[in-house]
Structure 1
Amino acid sequence: MYRVGELPLALQQAISKHVPPEAMITRIEFEGPEIAIYVRNPAVIAFRPEIARNLAKELKKRIVFRAEKDARKPQQEAIEIIKSIVPPEAEIKTIMFDEVLGEVIIKARKVGLVYGKGKTIYNKIFAETGWRPVILRAPDKESVTLNGIIDYMLRQSSYRSQILKTMGERIHRGVLFENRYVRIVALGGFMEVGRSAILVETSESRVLLDLGVNPGGTGYDMYPRLDIDEIRPEELDAVIITHAHLDHMGLVPFLFKYGFKGPVYVTKPTRDLMVLSLFDFLDVVTKEGRKPPFSQHDIRKMILHTIALDYEEVTDVTPDIKLTFYNAGHILGSAIAHLHIGEGLHNIVYTGDMKYANTRLLTKAHTKFPRVETLIIESTYGNKRQQKRSQAEAELIQWIVRTIEAKKGKVLIPVLAVGRAQEIILVIVDAIQKGYLRKVPIYIDGMIDEVTAIHLTYPEYLAPSLRKKILYGENPFTAEFLIKVEGAQMREEIINSSEPAVIIATSGMLNGGPSVEYFKNLAHDEKNTLIFVSYQVKGTLGRRVLEAGKGGKITLITPEGKLETININMDVVAIEGFSGHSDIDQLIAFLRDIEPKPKTVILNHGEPEAIRKFRRRIEAECRPGGKLEGAPFCGNIYTPQILDSIKLV
C-alpha cells in the first residue's frame, strides 16, 4: 500500500495533475497489471471517466479507481439502488459482491441496459453505491464452468488480492538491467504440431508463450522441454496463453505444482474454456490409468493467478514487456499475442493458431499492429490448400444425407469441443432449417454443451451475423432437434437404436472421450459413416483410423490391458475445409497484409514437410512479381527445431 507521496515522482505528478482533491485518495495499490487508486468520494471519478483515461494515457498503465470500504453502501442497500437504477428490461439474474476488491458482479440477460448509453448507468451505480460494477451476460444456457470460477474467486478473494499485489510489485517496480537483449527458445511445437511452448527471454524477464501437451505423444515427446536451465518455474515472470486447446495450454497447472507464482494471461473466454478443458483432460488421463502431470489443486491455484484481458488492451506483464491480444480467428477467444519489449527495443507478434478467413463462428485474424520486428507464425497447413468453406459444408451435408436417407445409418462426427463442434452444429442447423436435410436427432455428447454455453456468454467475440441471432432470439444452438446425451446409458441406447441420427462427440482425434466409444460400436456396420472435420495429429487413434480407411483394421488396448481388433466397415471421410487453421494461401495472404511488415519471420506449429514447403512458397513469393516482393523479412526466414534458440536483439 502506498500514499501518493510515497510513489515514484512521475506517478505522483500525474495523479496530482489529473485526479481532483475532492476525490479524496486514500491509498494506491499495485494489483497485478493495474494501478488501483482507492478514493472516499467515488462520485467525482464515476461522473468524469476522462480522469482515468487521461491518467492511463499519460502513464501508459492500466488504471482502476475503487472506493474505500467505508465509502461503499451496505450490500442490501446497494442491491436496492442497483435495481432502482437498472431498467427491468435488463433482466438482472444475480448480484454478487467482492468485499476485498470492492466490486459488484451483475449478471443480466441484456448487459447493454446495465451499462447504459455511454456507460451512464454503469457510472451511476459506482457513484451511488461505491461498488465498482463488473457486468456479465446471463445467456439462456448458463455456463457451469464460469459460475464455478466466479464462486471460487469470490471465496478466495483475500488470497487473490494478495497474489495481485505481489504480482503488481514485480510488474511495476521498474527495470533493473539495461542490457539490450532479446532471445527466444523453442521448447515445443517446432517442426511438429503439439506441445507448443516458447520461452521469451530478456535481460529482465522470462515469459512463456503457451505451454501445451502433445495429444498424440508418449513419454518424453508428450510435453515441452522444460528440463533446460532457463526454465525454473519459480523464476518465470509470466505465462501467456493464446487459446484453450490442450496443445497450447495443457501443461500450465504443472508450473504451479513446482513453484510458479506468477500470472497467467488469457482472454476471458480462454480462461473459462481452459479451466473446463483442463479438468476434462485430468479426468480422461485418470480414467485411462495414466499418471496425470498435475492435480485439481494445481488447476484451482492457476485460476487464482489468471488475469483475463480484452482484445487490444495494452497491459504490462513484466517490467520490460507489454502485452496486447488481438483476434486470431481460430476459436472463441483465441488471440495473437503482441509483445512490446523495452522502450521500443523489439516487438514480437506470435500468431498462435490463427485463421485468416471469416467463418460462420468468427471473423478473420487481425493484421494491423503498432510495431513488428519478429513474427512467429503457425504453419500447420503450410503445404496444403484447403477446400473452400462452402464446398466443405456442402460435402458434409451430402455425406449426412447419403448415410441417413440412402443407407439409414448413423453419422459419427468426432469434434474438438471448442470451436469445431459449434461450427458443425451451425452448418447442420442451417441445412435443416433450409430444408436440405430432414429433421433427425442431432446428438451432442461430451463437454460440447458446456462449451457452447461459454460461447453464448461472450457473443461479442463471435461473428456479427451470429451475434445478432443470439442476441435477438434466433439462437441456432437452442434448436429443438439438438439433443444433449446424458450419460452412458443414453449413449448405449443411441448406439443400439435402428434410428438414423447424427452424433457429434468429443474428442476430435479419437484420443479419448465418447467419440471412441461410438467408433468402437459403429465401425463394423457399413451403413454408418465416420466424418473427420479436424486435423488428425500423428500418433492419435484418429490418424490411424484415417490412414487405415474403410476395410482396414485397428488394434486397441482396452482399459483391462487386452488387445481389441476393430474392423472398419463404415465409410471414413476427412473434410479439411472446416479447419480453424489457415491454409498455405491464407498464410501468404496474412504475410501480404500484415502491417507493418516484420524484419524476421519464424515458422512453427507444423510438421517438417509443411514448414519446408511453406518456407519455399514464401521465398518464391519474395521474388520479383511475387505477392511478398520487397518485404523486409524475405532474407530472414527461420525454421528452428526443438531447443534451438534465436537471438533477436
Structure 2
Amino acid sequence: MSDKTTDEIELQFIGAAGIVTGSKTFIQTPHRKILVDCGLFQGKKSERKLNKVKKLPFRPAELDVIILTHGHLDHSGYLPVLVKKGYKGAIHATHPTKDITEVILYDSAKIQEEDAAAANKRREHGRKPRKPLYKAKHVNQTIEQFKTHAADEWVEIAKDLRFRFTKSGHILGSASVELEVEGKTFLFSGDIGQRSPLILDPPARSKKADYVILESTYGNKLHDAKTSPYQALQDVVNSTFEKGGTLVIPSFAVERAQEIIVILNNLMDEKSIPQLPIYLDSPMGIDITQLFQNHNGWHNLSKTETAGLTKNVHIIRDFQETLGVLDSNGPKQKIIIAGSGMATGGRVLYYLKQLLGDSKNTILLVGYQASGTRGQKLASGANSLKIDDEQYTVEASISQIGSLSAHGDQEDLLWWLGLLDKPKQVFLNHGEPEAAKVLREKIVEQYKWPVEVAALNKLYKL
C-alpha cells in the first residue's frame, strides 16, 4: 500500500481469509496505519509457509497501533516477528489477554527453537540451517510493549482514532473491537463465543458500525442444542468406565481445559460419574488455569469452582511425569486432558501412541478440528493415524462434543449481528470457504445486508 493522498480508506486481510488461522487485518487511512490481530498461520504445511512471507503490505515501524482481540496463537503468535522487524509502538489488549499472550508466546518461541534444532540435526551437511521465527528475547520485548485496558473503556490514540473492547465470550479476556477512525466506525468481532458460554459472560452486541468484520468459523454449522455438554460428557465418561478403559481428551490450553475440569468436578460431586483421577498434562494449560484465579471479573465461576480447577486435578508439568501417568502401577482407569486440541502436537501425541490401539479406550474431541489436522482425521473416521512418521491403528472409540466449542455457531453469529443498524459492508473472515459462503447467504437472506467473503491479500477500497 502506498501512502494515501485522498480520504479513501483501504482494508486488507493478510491472514484468516479462506482459512481459520493467521488473523491479521490491516487498515490504512490517509493518516493512519492500524493492525487488528497479528496471528500465526497453523495447520497444513502450505499454510504454515505463509508465516515466512518476506514482504508485508506495511513496514512494521510505520504502524500507528496494534490492537489484539485475544491471546490465541492464531491471533497473537506473529507479534514478536513484527517487533523483531522494528515495530516499537503499543500493543493494546485487555488485562487477561496480555497475560494469556505472554504464556502462549513463550511456549511458541520454545517450540520453534526446539523444532529448528531438531530439523538442523536431520539436515545434510552444507544445507542452510533452519531458524525459528523468533526467540524468547523477542517475546520479552513484545510483552514490554503491551498496554492493557478494561472492557468498555474508550481508548483515544489520537483525535481521529479511538477504540474500545467489548466482551466476546470466546476465551478469558477475549473481546470484539469497536474502532473509530477518521469518521468511520469498524466493528471487529474477533472470535465470538456462544450466546450462553459455560464459564464466561455472553458476547456483548453493538448497535452501529459502518463496516463489520465477522468471523465465520462455524458459519455453516449448528451445535447440538439437544444434549447439554454436561450430559454429553457424562455419557462418554460412563461408557468408557464401563468398558474398563481410559478417556483421553485432546484439549486447547485456553478455556477448553478449564471448562472440562469444571464439568467433571460438578459431575463427580453429584455422583453422575465415578470418582476417577483427572490428569492435566498441558504445561501451558496449567499456567492458563492460574490466570482464571487471577482474573475473577472475566468469568462466572464461583470461588469453589475456581479453586477446583487445580485442587482436584493431578498437574503434570515434566515429561518424566507424563511417562508415569500410564505406569502399570498407577490407577487402571483415568481421565487425561492433554494439549493440543486438534492433536497437531504436544503431550497428547504420547497418549495417542499408547492408547489408540485399544478398543476399551475413548478419544474425546472437543471444539473445532481444522482441515488436515489429526483431530479432523479422527473425527472423520480414519482407520490409522500418522504420528512421528509411524502409522498407529485406531481401535479406540472416537467421540466428539461440538457443544463445548468456544466458537458460536451459525445461529450465534446471526444473533450477534441482530442489534446492528444496516452497515455499509460486512466482511467475513476466519472461516473455511464453505463456512463463509453459507454464512454469507444466511446474512443476506435474514438481514438484506451487503456481505463479502474476505479474500487473502485483496485490497478493499472503502
TM-score normalized with structure 1 length: 0.66
Cα RMSD after superposing both structures: 2.1
- After superposition, the Cα gap between the structure-2 partners of 1:177 and 1:222, relative to the gap in structure 1 and judged at 3 Å, is closer
Match of 2:377 among 515, 527, 544: 544
Tell me which stretches of 4 or more aligned residues in structure 1 moved more than 4 Å.
176-179, 219-222, 224-229
**CA–CA distance in 1 between the matches of 2:306 and 2:247?**
24
The aligned residue for residue 401 of structure 2 is 575
Cα distance, 1:486 vs. partner?
3.8
Tell me, yes or no, if the aligned pair for 1:197 and 1:224 is still in contact at 8 Å: no
Secondary structure (helix, strand or coil) at the match of 1:188 reads: coil
> Number of residues paired by the alignment?
444
Q: How does 1:14-53 map to 2 (within 5 A)?
A: none
Q: Which amino acid aligns with 1:256?
A: V
SS of the counterpart of 2:344? coil
Answering whether residue 210 of structure 2 is matched by residue 373 of structure 1, we say: yes
Residue 494 of structure 1, aligned match among 300, 325, 335: 325
Q: Which amino acid aligns with 1:617?
A: K
Distance 1:531 1:326 in 2: 32
| Amino acid in the other structure paired with 2:252 | L
Q: Within the alignment, does 1:450 sit opposite 2:290 as a pair?
A: no
Q: Which runs of 5 or more structure 2 residues have no equivalent in the other structure?
A: 120-130
Q: One-letter code of the match for 2:69?
A: T
Question: How far apart, CA to CA, are the structure 2 residues paired with 1:635 and 1:314?
Answer: 28
Please give the residue correspondences for 1:317-328 in structure 2 after superposition, counting only pairs within 5 Å: 317-318=157-158, 320-328=160-168
Q: What do the CA deviations read for 1:141-162 (whole angstroms, capped 9, x no partner)?
A: xxxxxxxxxxxxxxxxxxxxxx
- Aligned partner of 1:556 in structure 2 is 387
CA contact (8 A) 2:293 2:306 kept: no
User: Which residue type is aligned with residue 9 of structure 2?
Assistant: V
Residue 428 and residue 474 in structure 1: after superposition, are their counterparts in 2 closer, same or farther (change >3 A)?
closer
- Over 3 Å counting, the alpha-carbon distance change for 1:180 and 1:206 in structure 2 is same
| CA shift for structure 1 position 287 | 2.9
Kept after mapping to 1: 8 A contact 2:443/2:449: no
- Is the CA contact 1:452–1:477 (under 8 Å) kept in the aligned structure 2? no
How far off its partner does 1:442 sit?
Answer: 0.6
> How big is the shift at 1:475?
3.6
Mapping of residues 205-220 of structure 1, within 5 Å = 205-218=32-45
Aligned match of 1:301: 141
TM-score, normalised by the number of residues in structure 2: 0.91
8 Å CA contact 1:205–1:320 kept in 2: the answer is: no
1:276 matches 2:103: yes
Deviations 1:139-185 (A, max 9, x none): xxxxxxxxxxxxxxxxxxxxxxxxxxxxxxxxxxxxx9994222210
State the Cα deviation string for residues 442-500 of structure 1 (Å, max 9, x = none).
Answer: 1111122211110110110112xx2xx22xx5545256431111422322222233510
Following superposition, the deviation at residue 389 of structure 1 comes to: 8.0
Instruction: Describe how 1:231-246 pairs up with structure 2 within 5 A.
Output: 231-246=58-73
The structure richer in helix per residue is 1
Q: State the Cα distance separating 1:542 from its structure 2 match.
A: 1.9
Partner of 1:641: 455
Distance 2:8 2:55 in 1: 19
Equivalent residues of 1:187, 1:224 under 8 A apart: no
Alpha-carbon separation, structure 2, partners of 1:522 and 1:647: 53
**Structure 1 residue 440 and structure 2 residue 276: aligned?**
yes
Matching residue of 2:87: 260
Structure 1 unaligned residues grouped into runs of 5+ = 1-175, 558-562, 622-627, 629-633
The SS at the match of 2:228 is: helix
| Helix, strand or coil at the partner of 2:180 | strand
Partner of residue 114, structure 1: none
In 1: Cα distance, 2:311 partner to 2:190 partner = 36
Identity %: 28
Question: Residue in 2 aligned with 1:203?
Answer: 30
CA contact (8 A) 1:389 1:578 kept: no
User: Following superposition of structure 1 onto structure 2, how do residues 316-355 of structure 1 map, counting pairs within 5 Å?
Assistant: 316-318=156-158, 320-342=160-182, 345-355=183-193
Cα offset, 1:390, TM superposition: 4.9
Would you say 1:481 and 2:312 are equivalent positions?
A: yes
1:337-386 residue CA offsets vs partner (Å, 9 max, x unmatched): 110112xx1000000101141222112111135x4111111111111111
Change (3 A) 1:380 1:478: closer
Of 605, 609, 618, the residue aligned with 2:430 is 605
Aligned mates of 2:112, 2:134 — CA distance in 1: 11
Contact 2:362 2:399 survives alignment (8 Å): yes
Which protein is bigger by CA-based radius of gyration? 1
2:34–2:65 CA contact under 8 A, matched in 1: yes
